Amino acid sequence: MDTLNLDMNKRYTYADYLTWMDDVRRELHDGFIKLMTPAPSRSHQKISAKFMKIWGVYLENKKCEVYAAPTDVRFPKNKKAESDKQIYTVLQPDIFVICDLSKMDERGCLGAPDFIIEIVSAKNSQRDTKDKFEIYQENGVREYWIIHPNDETVNVFVLDENGKFQFKGIFSGDDKIPVNIFNGDLMVDLTEVFV
């Protein structure tokens, strides 16, 4: 329940967002509040933990870093740093990888990560497959994976030279998914994820 009684029809900024000191998880989509589920399901948490382990091992001694929710990713307009009062989109991807560490500060990430994973639940399906898809594409996220735990599938999208996500396929079963931002150097074996 929203204990602050915020106006869901009002447009807010990241500066406003920073003042909300309660336990309710929220994101801002172009200034409008989107409430998040209070706690992810067990299957969601297991999948997230497996991906964090895979990424953690792969990124050991590399320049990129991996983060999990809840970590704020701020998307400024025009992809440039602005004041907190000028940032209207703040999301908390389930997992993200960032290689330009100058975008990281103590409050999270300012600008687009290189790679994002969202783990879909029944309550957030449209948000991940449509709303966040459009935000990530518009802001230049290089690779986006949408995981459907119930079907044990992964939809992979890669940003093309025109700034549009291209669908690379649906992966499942014993598939091994090449991570495109690393030119396939990392292959994610789905038998290690959906067990």
Asked whether residue 15 is domain-assigned, the answer is: no
Give the structural domain span for 62: 40-70+89-192
What CATH number is given to the structural domain containing 153?
Answer: 3.90.1570.10
The pLDDT value given to residue 81: 62
The residues, ordered by sequence, that sit 6+ positions from 148 with a Cβ below 8 Å of its Cβ are: 120, 154, 155
How many structural domains are present in the chain?
1
Strand order in the sheet with 153-159: 65-68, 95-98, 115-119, 143-148, 153-159, 165-172
> What are the beta bridge partners of residue 48?
none
For the residues 87-93, what does the mean pLDDT come to? 95
- Answer yes or no: is pLDDT of 6 > 80: yes
For the residues 93-122, what does the mean pLDDT come to? 95
Asked whether residue 138 is domain-assigned, the answer is: yes
The pLDDT value given to residue 80: 65
